[in-house]
A and B are shown apart, each in its own frame.
Chain A
């Protein structure tokens, strides 16, 4: 049997040119339907039809005929969009997210909506109402989260590349756990219009692919200012110099909490880069230890407000109609899962009378300090990137941490500072241990995705970790 997808977007383009899109898509849809890893919530049945049209009419577009998976918190016109929550089951949006629109304009075929932690609240994809996604490297382990479905789909060849979203590591963590490349762009570089909000000031749409090249091509297609998102930015106005210094900083803070083999592979990667001419120095950012607390305060506070709209009036779950407040309270009790409830409750509390200054406002100030820490490090030490492990651990067992929210939150230590500062970041595979992938994170200057993507490419070209992913396909 032909392996259509083993050489990524570049490889599959030949099959599209040869008019084999329909056949490849049909096989892909069948494979998705086998549902081995529970990577999808909804399959787009019209994908084969779209592929047939492409074979017939060709057309153009940088993603012509590419089967792309989209996380289920991105609004897709005419395709059920649930955020993996019972409360949104059956909701069929009347509009496309800007990123989805851009994929379609570029000829991509949306093959399905991927599984995720409910409302993107989680690090494992275990909080999905539709059941956990499994890690293609070991089905007993978590794929990471919250974009676990999007990562597992790429790693298992159930799509060629995918969109995820990243609020505190939700693209990079599953990319790391599934051994693929994931990009979390600069805040504002990609439109959030149609991204169902969890934490507006932190989250971004990100891309995933089996190589950094595929992920960055996808980013290229979906990025750019959007007049429908007031926080989106024209990067040319904000990008400072992209001068190269040939030096990276290694964030050695919290290394004592990192699994030994993870640390070993991260250091190997740093030394590999050194061999390739990129120097490194260890750095320490004083306010970074407040990143987790300020991150969770901001995320949960915003979430408590963002999720207030789920009341069963205009869409979603609706129960028996009683007095309006009882009706709402029951729908929300029934429709939201535990983790979502916990976060809404925490966020409601931290914004309530007398606590706003102590929590939310204070967290916004701490956020500013962390931004200054990063800015200072990049500027004063003349760094092209700051690197760290993406996750402090290898993929763990399903169910291992789900009952202990705090230990789960602590695993986001390296990913959340990136969302607080709005900086771009990529996670790429840097080794395997016990058959499980390990990821390294490269953090770049604002709107300078290019530099970290280039470093990742240089690394990828000189190592063979990425090829192992292709081997799995």
Chain B
């Protein structure tokens, strides 16, 4: 797909805050009855006034700094005036001139290497209420409105049209989500936590805006659909008009909502109930609160643990996984006490840990739609499994089985291995089997002494079959040679 230009407006709910943007109502409304987390301010009752949540501004600044933006000296809230049934005041308190921050950038991985996406601005605004249309938006005879969401703090992050494909758009969103979670301002798992408006145009055409898509996969699909639609129009020499389109998630298509001519005139003006803010001086303090972000962590994982870059990238895409990996690696450093110099050695090879976490554990978690945090597979259990694996106590297949069982039912790795008969036989047990095989196969033993090479392999196979594969190959070889020589 060449000459595609995509810009995103990402609405991020600062759902880790305790209270809404302009009132003290709790943000903890998921799964609650409708209209139970509301007050005069977020219901837009006559006479109520907004007061800005300081922490929301701090979160906004942290995000802005993480996206390499410049925080403006003076920032103002504006009223964006339009009518809609989900908007309690007939205007949304948002920002316009003097946004919180401008001119940032973020890098993403593309098929042709790293690429910089410019960030136009980061601004704050309030979330409208949630509407339910029973029987679907087109057929419902009324809307049901729940104001619990109304007034939640949102950040709007606007990119320049630097994204060249729907896949890049998805990569951008994935990376953005991971940065937001690193900053601990956002939980992407909650419903409606991130909503995306995207502009897409092909060279030679006007842009279309696809509004309000709530999943990253949805954005990629909607944009792919839209790019193909526009390409087909251009091929047939039909002019693409500037319009807003709705993405129908079920049908996987976009539908025209309105053309630009009918678009609202938002009549922005500074919110007179909120004095201007001058918060640039907060940046120094907030900079110190920003944790190591994904890009830096990738570099460190490669340098410090010697893991492969693709593993580092995968480990760091989710901060919980990244922390898990580090705990597994770090706690397996054994410290030898009572020595002047503490000697440290890794019990587990970080590369092995990385590979197990990325290639096995992440897949098993995804399959079960589980998060590592709060899963029954705590770090110490993984450490135990990996230790037993590297010491040869269990097989790779056993390790996978143990991981699966713990994720499904919990439990202790050692107990599972014992109960399910996992693990190696010890040398004395193998010795008994070796003796038995030699006794029962005199013909083959004879062949062995005639220097027939295949004879040894046959005997090894017999021992392994008897042990159901649980004898250590090293033990089998050594013991067979020992007893055959005694003959």
Direct contact of A and B (CB under 8 A): yes
* Chain B positions within 8 Å of A324 at CB level: 84-85, 143
B238 to chain A, nearest CB (A): 29
Surface stretch bound by A, among B10-18, B49-57, B430-438: B49-57
Interface string of A89-102 (1 = CB under 8 A from B): 00101110100000
The distance from the CB of A321 to the nearest CB of chain B, in whole angstroms, is: 6
Which of chain B's residues have a CB closer than 8 A to the CB of A74? 47
Complex interface bits, B29-59 against A, C-beta within 8 A gives 1, otherwise 0: 0000000000010011111111110000000
Contact assessment for A230 and B49 in the assembled complex, using a CB-CB cutoff below 8 Å:
yes
Stretch at the interface among A6-14, A190-198, A374-382, A406-414: A190-198
CB of A311, distance to nearest CB on chain B (Å): 7
Complex contact A352–B49 (CB within 8 A): no
CB-defined interface of A332-353 with B at 8 Å, one 1/0 digit per residue?
A: 0000000000000000100111
Q: Does A313 contact B (CB under 8 A)?
A: yes
Q: Mark B120-160, 1 if CB is under 8 A from A, else 0.
A: 00000000000000000000011101000000000000000
Residues of B within 8 A of A229 (CB): 49, 51, 273
Q: Does B411 contact A (CB under 8 A)?
A: no
- Is the Cβ of B91 less than 8 Å from the Cβ of A227? no
B191 in the interface (beta carbon within 8 A): no
User: Are A200 and B272 CB-contacts (below 8 A) given A75-B46, A309-B90?
Assistant: yes
Known: A230-B275, A356-B268, A360-B269. A314 touches B47 (CB 8 A): no
Q: Are B47 and A305 in contact (CB under 8 A)?
A: no
Whether A230 touches B52, Cβ cut-off 8 Å, given contacts A193-B47, A301-B269, is yes
CB of A325 within 8 A of CB of B83, answer yes
In whole angstroms, how far apart are the Cα atoms of A193 and B47 in the complex? 6
A352 to B48, CA, bound (A): 25
Contact A230 B51 (CB under 8 A): yes
When the two chains form their complex, are residues A315 and B265 in contact, meaning their CB atoms are under 8 A apart?
no
Are B83 and A352 in contact, with the CB atoms below 8 A? no
Contact A321 B142, CB 8 Å, known A308-B81, A308-B83: yes
Q: Which residues of B contact A325 (CB under 8 A)?
A: 83
Q: Is the CB of B269 within 8 A of A314?
A: no
**A93 CB contacts on chain B under 8 angstroms:** 40, 45-47
Is the Cβ of A302 less than 8 Å from the Cβ of B272?
Answer: yes
Instruction: Say which residue of B79, B141, B267 sits within 8 Å of A352 (CB atoms).
Output: B267
CB-defined contacts of B51 to chain A, threshold 8 Å: 227-230
Q: Does A135 have its Cβ within 8 Å of any Cβ on chain B?
A: no
Q: Decide: B47 and A348 in contact? CB cutoff 8 A.
A: no
Task: Please name all residues of chain A whose beta carbon is closer than 8 Å to the beta carbon of B88 when the two chains form the complex.
Answer: 309, 313-314
Residue-wise, chain A 54-88 has the 8 Å CB interface mask toward B (1 for contact) of: 00000000000000000001110000010100001
A75 B52 Cβ-Cβ under 8 A = no
A287 at interface by CB-CB < 8 Å:
no
Which single residue of chain A is at the shortest CB-CB distance from B83?
A328
Contact A193 B49 (CB under 8 A): yes
Cβ B49 vs Cβ A88 within 8 A = no
Interfacial residues of chain B within 352-401, with CB under 8 A of chain A in the complex: none
How far is the CB of B485 from the nearest CB of chain A, in Å? 91
- B269–A230 CB distance below 8 A: no
Question: For residue A252, which residues in chain B have a CB less than 8 angstroms away from its CB?
Answer: none
Q: Does A315 contact B45, Cβ atoms closer than 8 Å? A: yes
Smallest CB separation, B39 vs chain A (Å): 8
Closest-by-CB residue of A relative to B22 is A230
Residues of B within 8 A of A97 (CB): 47
Convert B252-285 into 0s and 1s, putting 1 for each residue whose CB lies closer than 8 angstroms to a CB of A.
0000000000000101110011110000000000
B311 within 8 Å of A (CB atoms): no
Q: Does B89 contact A (CB under 8 A)?
A: yes
* Bound Cα distance from A23 to B376, whole angstroms: 73
For A356, the chain B residues whose CB sits under 8 A away are 267-269
Please give, as numbers and ranges, the residues of chain A lying within 8 Å of B52 by CB-CB distance: 230
- Please report the total number of A residues contacting B with Cβ < 8 Å: 47
Q: Is A451 an interface residue (CB 8 A)?
A: no
Whether, in the assembled complex, A201 has its beta carbon less than 8 Å from a beta carbon of chain B, the answer is yes
Look across to chain B and name the residue whose beta carbon is closest to the beta carbon of A188. Answer: B275
Find chain B residues with CB under 8 A from A351 CB.
81, 267-269
Interface membership of A253, Cβ < 8 A? no
- Complex interface residues of chain B between 465 and 481 (CB less than 8 A to chain A): none
Identify which of residues 388-430 in chain B touch chain A, using a CB-to-CB cut-off of 8 Å.
none
A80 to B474, CA, bound (A): 90
A470 contacts the other chain (CB 8 A): no
Q: Identify A91's interface contact among B46, B89, B275, CB under 8 A.
A: B46
**Assembly CA distance A97 to B143 (angstroms):** 31
- B273 engages A230 (CB within 8 Å): yes
| CB-based contact A308/B91 at 8 Å | yes
A352 to B44, CA, bound (A): 23
B81 partner, pick from A88, A200, A305, A321, beta carbons under 8 A: A305
Nearest A residue (CB) for B267: A351
Residue of A nearest to B50 (CB): A230
Determine whether A42 belongs to the interface, using a CB cutoff of 8 Å to chain B.
no
List CB contacts (< 8 Å) of A223-258 with chain B: 227-231
Q: Which of A94, A201, A231 contacts B45 (CB 8 A)?
A: A94
- The answer to whether A230 and B274 have CB atoms under 8 Å apart is yes
User: A75 vs B275: C-alpha distance in the bound complex, in angstroms?
Assistant: 23
Question: Which residue in A195, A314, A353 is a CB contact (below 8 Å) of B265?
Answer: A353
A195-B48 Cα distance, complex, nearest whole Å: 8
In the complex, are the beta carbons of B89 and A308 less than 8 A apart? Answer: yes
Chain A residues near B89 (CB-CB < 8 A): 308-309
Among A304, A305, A328, the one with the most B-chain Cβ atoms within 10 Å of its Cβ is: A305
Give B132 Cβ to nearest chain A Cβ, in Å. 14
Known: A351-B267, A353-B265. A195 touches B272 (CB 8 A): no
Chain B residues with Cβ below 8 Å from A201 are: 272
Residues from chain A with a CB closer than 8 A to the CB of B46 are 75, 81, 83, 88, 91, 93, 196-197, 309, 315
Cα distance A230–B274 in the bound complex, in angstroms: 6
- Provide 30 A-B residue pairs closer than 8 Å at the C-beta atoms, listed in order of the A residue: A73-B47, A75-B45, A81-B46, A94-B40, A95-B45, A192-B49, A193-B49, A194-B48, A196-B46, A196-B47, A200-B272, A201-B272, A228-B51, A229-B49, A304-B81, A305-B79, A305-B269, A308-B91, A309-B46, A309-B90, A310-B90, A311-B90, A314-B43, A314-B45, A315-B45, A315-B46, A328-B83, A351-B267, A353-B267, A356-B269
Closest 10 CB pairs of A and B: A308-B90, A351-B267, A201-B272, A200-B272, A196-B46, A194-B47, A75-B47, A196-B47, A309-B89, A309-B90
Beyond contacts A75-B47, A93-B45, A324-B85: 15 other A-B pairs, Cβ-Cβ < 8 A, are A88-B46, A93-B40, A95-B48, A231-B273, A231-B274, A231-B275, A305-B91, A307-B90, A309-B88, A309-B89, A314-B88, A328-B83, A348-B267, A353-B265, A353-B267
